[in-house]
A and B are shown apart, each in its own frame.
Chain A
Amino acid sequence: DAGVTQSPTHLIKTRGQHVTLRCSPISGHKSVSWYQQVLGQGPQFIFQYYEKEERGRGNFPDRFSARQFPNYSSELNVNALLLGDSALYLCASSPGDRLAGYEQYFGPGTRLTVT
């Protein structure tokens, strides 16, 4: 079975631009969550979606948004990119409706560089 997949692998954008990152969960998993990991730091929680509904949101500005599709894949959108948005963006899937109590399966990440 395929694990969690993310695309693209790497991305370079300019300040002020918009970016869309994509994630496909493990087959059968209905929950997708997104994380930002700045170099040298631990990941930070951005969003969790379950059955196309937002179930959790971290402390990120409104420039960050996400959605989940009927096939449970997900997109993370970031508007008006800042240099500080340069990071590894990780997606994880799980079978449950909550983050708590379910093991998270992480994708390989998308490395975003904003210049």
Chain B
Amino acid sequence: KNEVEQSPQNLTAQEGEFITINCSYSVGISALHWLQQHPGGGIVSLFMLSSGKKKHGRLIATINIQEKHSSLHITASHPRDSAVYICAVTGNQFYFGTGTSLTVIP
């Protein structure tokens, strides 16, 4: 059983659509991270949050500590948003989800 579960595994959207990626975790955490990974491997940290909501441009991340659930939203999606989005949590170590592969079609 994975400590971090993401859904969906794959997602295809039309440009301009509102996108939601979900993350559930089963361990006690200090923080939750949303990461973006492009083909070739490089990982960029999008958000680190331990409560509430954060917004950066068209990206919004929320977390519900009681329900052990987080969502990443992308508003007005664009083809350059195509990437793998990974949810990760830090407690006594770093646990990662398997990622959501997003393709945005023009």
5 contacts between A and B (CB under 8 A): A45-B93, A45-B94, A58-B93, A101-B30, A108-B41
Interface size grouping (class) on chain A: 20 to 34
Q: Which of A35, A90, A103, A108 contacts B48 (CB 8 A)?
A: A103
- Does B30 lie within 8 Å of A100, measured CB to CB? yes
Query: With A58-B93, A100-B30, A100-B91 in contact, do A42 and B41 touch (Cβ < 8 Å)?
Result: no
CB distance from B102 to the nearest CB of A (A): 15
Residues of B within 8 A of A (CB): 4, 29-31, 33, 35, 40-45, 48, 50, 86, 88, 90-99
- Does B30 lie within 8 Å of A104, measured CB to CB? no
Q: Which of A33, A90, A104 contacts B45 (CB 8 A)?
A: A104
Q: Which of A44, A88, A109 contacts B96 (CB 8 A)?
A: A44
* A99 within 8 A of partner (CB): yes
Interface of chain A residues 59 through 115 with chain B (CB within 8 A): 88, 90, 92, 98-106, 108-109, 111
Query: With A100-B30, A101-B30, A109-B42 in contact, do A42 and B98 touch (Cβ < 8 Å)?
Result: yes
* A56 within 8 A of partner (CB): yes
- Does A45 lie within 8 Å of B33, measured CB to CB? no
Max chain A C-beta neighbours (<10 A), residue from B30, B40, B41: B41
